Amino acid sequence: MKIGVFADNFNCSLNEALHKASKLGFTGVQIFAADGEFDASLLKNKDGLSTYLKLFKDLGLEVSALCGDMGGHGFEIQKDNAERIEKSKLIIDLAAACGTKVVTTHIGVIPEDEKSPQFGVMLEALDTIGSYAKTHDVTVAIETGPEKPETLKKFIQQTHGGVGVNLDPANFVMVTGVDPVHAVELLGQYIVHTHVKDGIMKQQTDPARIYRFFAEGGIGDFRMEDYFCETPLGKGSVNFDTYLAALKKSGFDGFFTIEREAGQDPEKDIADAQAFIRKKLAASGY
């Protein structure tokens, strides 16, 4: 079984986070690469990159994925996309240099109507990025979130390869109100990476409203805690027994990467999550 952790969730330097991940017995780490300590500038800093590659090896870690999320509205705004596409290509180059085959990202809110101009703008951008990724044996994995799995599948099917799915079951139950099992059944062939996260929906609202808040903030007195809450694993609405059974049936054999974006003691939460998911994976036959 491949269990990883989002290194940035330790809320410390990357070097310290990598040592924490190794000490806890993880085999993989996902690393934020859109800016910060591990951004694409490492491609020009050969010594810096070599130092990290040696550290991965010494600690017994592999990079499960890079996170190339640039925030904002993703690829919804055409005038911004040329710059975002070029930056995405650099992140793909960095992923290839690190030996990982996955770059995850939120891309914005895909409209259900494929005739929408926004759908076309986003599709053009992801098709360009995916085609580039494909030549590097990398997949750009769209993180599940604001759209229904039917919409995401329809979108990916119109690209020319190099585009897949980073399935986050908590985003479905917290925001979209979709059973992750249903999502796996629809998206299984495209899933190349997963986040291990749990949560609950408190109040149904338009998912696009949630993601507009993430992009812009300042939506009146909009309070996220009124609508959803991330929880420790097993305390939310994700049924990990049925979800993992669906993933196994789909043939998924990639990383289960723990993501913990809330809580006061992330290291304890991550350790508890590892014990939880390890037990569930063993029970499911992974």
Q: Which residues pair with 28 in a beta bridge?
A: 4, 62
Q: Which class in CATH covers the domain with range 3-284?
A: alpha beta
Mean pLDDT for the stretch of residues 80-88? 98
224 has pLDDT over 50 = yes
Q: Which residues pair with 234 in a beta bridge?
A: none
Within 10 A of 264 (CB to CB), how many other CB atoms are there? 6
Name which of 126-135, 212-221, 226-235 the model is least confident about. Answer: 212-221
Mean pLDDT for the stretch of residues 129-158? 97
Residue 86's contacts (CB-CB under 8 Å, 6 or more residues apart) are: none
210 has pLDDT over 70 = no
pLDDT per position as a tens digit, 16-42: 999 999 999 999 999 999 999 999 999
Backbone angles phi, psi at 177, to 5 degrees: 75, 30
Q: Kindly provide the residue ranges of all beta strands, DSSP E only, lying in the chain, ordered along the sequence.
A: 3-6, 28-32, 62-67, 102-105, 139-143, 163-167, 191-196, 198-201, 228-231, 256-258
Structure tokens at 107: 């891309």
Mean pLDDT for the stretch of residues 152-177? 97
Which pLDDT score is estimated for 203?
73
Which pLDDT score is estimated for 130?
98
Residue predicted with more confidence, 126 or 211: 126
- What average pLDDT does the structure give for the chain? 94
N-term to C-term CA, the chain: 6
Q: How confident is the model at residue 145 (pLDDT cuts 50, 70, 90)?
A: confident
Q: Kindly provide the residue ranges of all beta strands, DSSP E only, lying in 110-162, ordered along the sequence.
A: 139-143
Which pLDDT score is estimated for 250?
97
pLDDT per position as a tens digit, 44-72: 998 999 999 999 999 999 999 999 999 99
Task: Enter the pTM of the model.
Answer: 0.94
Closest to 94 measured CA to CA, from 72, 63, 71:
63
205 has pLDDT over 80 = no
Pairing of strands 3-6, 62-67: unpaired
Q: Write out the H or E segment, with its range, that includes residue 250.
A: helix 240-250
Q: How confident is the model at residue 217 (pLDDT cuts 50, 70, 90)?
A: low
- CA-based Rg of the chain, rounded to a whole angstrom? 18
CB 18 within 8 A of CB 53: no
Structure tokens at 19: 């040592």
Residue predicted with more confidence, 255 or 1: 255
258 has pLDDT over 50 = yes
Which pLDDT score is estimated for 219?
45
CA atoms of 35 and 143, how far apart (whole Å): 18
239 has pLDDT over 90 = yes
Which pLDDT score is estimated for 263?
81
162 has pLDDT over 90 = yes
Domain ranges of the chain: 3-284
CA atoms of 36 and 40, how far apart (whole Å): 9
